[in-house]
């Protein structure tokens, strides 16, 4: 099963979540997307972000695998440096 995931390896996950909410928060107002968030018990798209250090991100990715995902499309988020760090982590 294919699953997309917004990911950021960062020392400041709260900042990245706040930025994501500011940029994409409108998605929670769309009926179809709101239904998906509600089924997962989430208040907004920012809660879908996997963010933190490498260990935290690894745990977040493992949750996708445990849920049945076989292919994960990583969407790097954050500053250019954080995006590069995230990309490097998944390129290993």
Q: What does the chain come to in residues? A: 92
Q: What is the rounded average pLDDT for all residues in the chain?
A: 92
Instruction: Decide if 50 contacts 6 (C-beta within 8 A).
Output: yes
SS (H, E, C) 5-28: EEEEECCCHHHHHHHHHHHHHHHH
Rounded mean pLDDT, 3-14: 95
Mind listing the pLDDT tens digit for each residue in 54-92? 999 999 999 888 989 999 999 999 999 999 999 999 998
> How far is the C-alpha of 65 from the C-alpha of 18, rounded, in Å?
26
pLDDT of 28 reads 82
pLDDT of 67 reads 87
What φ, ψ does residue 73 adopt, rounded to 5°? -95, 110
């Amino acid at each position: 099963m294919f699953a997309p995931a917004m990911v950021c390896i960062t020392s400041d996950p709260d900042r990245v979540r706040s930025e994501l909410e500011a940029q994409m928060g409108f998605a929670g107002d769309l009926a179809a997307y709101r239904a998906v968030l509600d089924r997962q018990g989430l208040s907004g798209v920012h809660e879908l972000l996997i963010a933190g250090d490498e260990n935290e991100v690894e745990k977040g990715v493992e949750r996708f695998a445990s849920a049945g995902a076989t292919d994960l499309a990583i969407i790097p988020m954050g500053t250019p440096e954080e995006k590069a760090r995230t990309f490097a982590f998944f390129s290993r």
